[in-house]
Structure 1
Amino acid sequence: MTFHQLTYVVEISKCGSINKAAHKLHLSQSGISSAVRELEEELGIQFFRRSNRGVEFTPEGKEFLSYAVSLLEQKQRIEGLYGQNRNAAAPERFSVSTQRYPFTEDAFLRMLQATQESRFRFSLKETGMDAVIDDVYDHRSDIGVIFLTELTEKMIRRLLDARELVFHEIASVDPCIYVRKDHPLAGRESVSEEDVEGYPYVSFEHAQGVAADFSEEYPEMSLRRPDRWIHVNNRATMMNVLAGTDAYTTGSGLLVENFISQAVVTVPLVGKSPVHIGWIVPRGARLSHRAEQFIRLLEDSVADSIQFTARLHRSMTKPQSRYTDLNPTKRSSP
Structure 2
Amino acid sequence: MTFQQMKYVAEIARCGSINKAAAKLFVSQSSISSALKELEAELNISIFSRSNQGVELTPEGRQFLSYANSLLERKSYIESLYTSNQVEPEAQFSVSTQRYPFAVDAFVRLVNQIDNPRFNFTIRETSMDKVIEDVSASVSDIGVIFTSNLTEKIIKRFLGTRNIEFHLLRKIQPCVYVRKGHPLAGRDTLRAEDLNDFIYMAFEHKQGESIDFSEEFNLIPARKPNRTIVVNDRATAVNVVCNTDVVSTGSGLLVEEFMDGRIMSIPLEDYGDKMRLGWIKLKNRSLSPETEAFIEQLKDSIETAIVYTEKVRREAQSHC
The TM-score with structure 2 as length reference comes to 0.87
Aligned to 1:141: 140
Contact 1:188–1:318, Cα closer than 8 Å, also in 2: no
**Pairwise CA distance, 1:22:** 4.3
Aligned to 1:283: 283
Count of matched residue positions in the alignment of Structure 1 and Structure 2 = 317
The verdict on how the C-alpha distance between 1:16 and 1:196 changes in structure 2, with shifts beyond 3 A counting, is: farther
Summarize deviations over 1:78-106 as a string: whole Å, max 9, x none: 12222223x62312222222111111122
Aligned-partner Cα distance in 2 for 1:130–1:138: 12
Aligned-partner Cα distance in 2 for 1:20–1:199: 72
What amino acid is the match of 1:58? P
- Structure 2 counterparts to residues 7-22 of structure 1, below 5 A: 7-15=7-15, 18=18, 21-22=21-22
Contact 2:202–2:228, Cα closer than 8 Å, also in 1: no
**Pairwise CA distance, 1:76:** 1.2
Aligned-partner Cα distance in 1 for 2:16–2:203: 46
- Structure 2 counterparts to residues 81-100 of structure 1, below 5 A: 81-85=81-85, 88-100=87-99
Contact 2:147–2:277, Cα closer than 8 Å, also in 1: yes
- Structure 2 counterparts to residues 266-305 of structure 1, below 5 A: 266-270=265-269, 272=271, 273-305=273-305
- The alignment partner of 2:195 has SS state of coil
Over aligned residue pairs, what C-alpha RMSD do you find? 2.7
- Structure 2 counterparts to residues 62-211 of structure 1, below 5 A: 62-85=62-85, 88-211=87-210
- The alignment partner of 1:317 has SS state of helix
The verdict on how the C-alpha distance between 1:203 and 1:22 changes in structure 2, with shifts beyond 3 A counting, is: farther
Summarize deviations over 1:195-247 as a string: whole Å, max 9, x none: 32343333332344443332222233357364341323x22222122112222
Aligned-partner Cα distance in 2 for 1:58–1:151: 56
Q: Does 1:224 align with 2:211?
A: no
What amino acid is the match of 1:136? V
The verdict on how the C-alpha distance between 1:88 and 1:195 changes in structure 2, with shifts beyond 3 A counting, is: same
Is there any run of 5+ residues in structure 2 with no aligned partner, and where? none
Contact 2:196–2:223, Cα closer than 8 Å, also in 1: no
Contact 1:49–1:58, Cα closer than 8 Å, also in 2: no
Contact 1:200–1:227, Cα closer than 8 Å, also in 2: yes
Worse overlay, 289-298 or 18-27 = 18-27
Aligned-partner Cα distance in 2 for 1:181–1:38: 70
The verdict on how the C-alpha distance between 1:18 and 1:208 changes in structure 2, with shifts beyond 3 A counting, is: farther
Contact 1:148–1:276, Cα closer than 8 Å, also in 2: yes
Contact 1:187–1:313, Cα closer than 8 Å, also in 2: no
**Pairwise CA distance, 1:124:** 2.3
**Pairwise CA distance, 1:110:** 2.4
The verdict on how the C-alpha distance between 1:66 and 1:258 changes in structure 2, with shifts beyond 3 A counting, is: same
- The alignment partner of 1:194 has SS state of helix
**Pairwise CA distance, 1:15:** 4.8
- The alignment partner of 1:195 has SS state of helix
- The alignment partner of 1:177 has SS state of strand
Worse overlay, 188-197 or 154-163 = 188-197
- Structure 2 counterparts to residues 32-71 of structure 1, below 5 A: 32-51=32-51, 54-59=55-60, 61-71=61-71
Aligned-partner Cα distance in 2 for 1:102–1:256: 6
Q: Does 1:213 align with 2:204?
A: no
**Pairwise CA distance, 1:250:** 1.6
The verdict on how the C-alpha distance between 1:173 and 1:42 changes in structure 2, with shifts beyond 3 A counting, is: same
Aligned-partner Cα distance in 2 for 1:177–1:13: 60
- The alignment partner of 1:189 has SS state of coil
Tell me the percent identity.
47
Aligned to 1:309: 309
**Pairwise CA distance, 1:31:** 3.2
The verdict on how the C-alpha distance between 1:67 and 1:189 changes in structure 2, with shifts beyond 3 A counting, is: same
Contact 1:103–1:301, Cα closer than 8 Å, also in 2: yes
Aligned-partner Cα distance in 1 for 2:185–2:68: 56
- The alignment partner of 1:277 has SS state of strand
Summarize deviations over 1:227-273 as a string: whole Å, max 9, x none: 341323x2222212211222232211111133331111112233652
List 4+ stretches of structure 1 deviating above 6 A: none
What amino acid is the match of 1:170? L
The verdict on how the C-alpha distance between 1:186 and 1:12 changes in structure 2, with shifts beyond 3 A counting, is: farther
Worse overlay, 234-243 or 204-213 = 204-213
